[in-house]
Amino acid sequence: MTFGPLVSHGQPPRFFTFPSLAALGLPHATTTRHFDGARPFADAAGPFRLDGAGGLGEVGIDLGVAAYARQVHGADIALPAAGGFVGDADVLATSTAGLPLAIFTADCLAVTLYDREASALAVAHVGWRGTVAGGAAAAVDALARVGGRAATAAATIAPSIGPCCYEVDEPVIGAFAAQFPDVWQRWVAASGPGHWMLDLWTANEDLLVKAGVPRARIENPRVCTACNPAVLFSYRKGNRGRLITVAALP
């Protein structure tokens, strides 16, 4: 199975890394269904397994000290200075070296923004509701709050559901048309009466560019979670596991 520029780790792969972030020296990873590291969020022991195959030491990430939030499909920002639970938020940012920021997904986009010049990092969980709420712009704003700049940032979009598989109905499209009246049609293709295929990848790439991130600095391998059930979790496909996208400033 070829996932374009993503670098596979293990056979079958336990996680992937992005060449653009690796070239900048950022410790990071997006896990697969073969990574034994995520618990249900409600588990009293916390969201991470830290035993056995649950570690990410190969890429310099210690999940035991990661900061994470209860994701609510919005665009609220948290700025953790230490690990652990930080409340309800879908965007996290930090300028603290060695502090991993973690996002959980199973079809939604996990966006990472890294400005090496400023030593600033932001991660965001963005589904259709988060897109409408301004999640991409909030991620850029969060990066700015910790000293980063969109113009010098590198951005990545982790495996997530693609326009090949993401069919939505009128309430979703109505929200997009109301929020983005001039551009929403660029992100959809009719699939039947009252139904459309929605391209969250292009939508969020466009919105990151609008917020100031150069398009050439956005790496999106366009790997669909629903198309790859042997490797990735997909909520739409009835798979309730979670992928973890995590990064930490060096």
Tens of pLDDT along 46-92? 677 655 445 798 999 998 899 999 999 999 999 999 999 999 999 99
Backbone angles phi, psi at 126, to 5 degrees: -135, 110
Sequence-distant (≥ 6) Cβ neighbours of residue 7 within 8 angstroms: 16, 17, 18, 19, 22
CA distances from 217 to 138, 203, 246 (A): 18, 16, 19
User: Is the distance from CB of 80 to CB of 92 less than 8 angstroms?
Assistant: yes
**What is the reported pLDDT for 11?**
85
User: Is the distance from CB of 200 to CB of 109 less than 8 angstroms?
Assistant: yes
Q: Could you report the per-residue pLDDT of 89-146, keeping only the tens digit for each?
A: 999 999 999 999 999 999 999 999 999 999 999 999 999 999 999 999 999 999 999 9
Domains of the chain in sequence order: 7-247 (3.60.140.10)
Q: At what angle do helices 135-145 and 200-210 cross, to 10 degrees?
A: 40
Q: What is the mean pLDDT of residues 216-235?
A: 96
pLDDT above 70 for 2: no
Q: Could you report the per-residue pLDDT of 172-193, keeping only the tens digit for each?
A: 999 999 999 999 999 999 999 9
Percent of the chain with pLDDT over 90: 82
> Which of 30-44, 45-59, 234-248 tops mean pLDDT?
234-248
Mean pLDDT score of the chain: 92
**What is the reported pLDDT for 42?**
47
**What is the reported pLDDT for 48?**
72
For residue 37, name the pLDDT band (cuts at 50, 70, 90): low
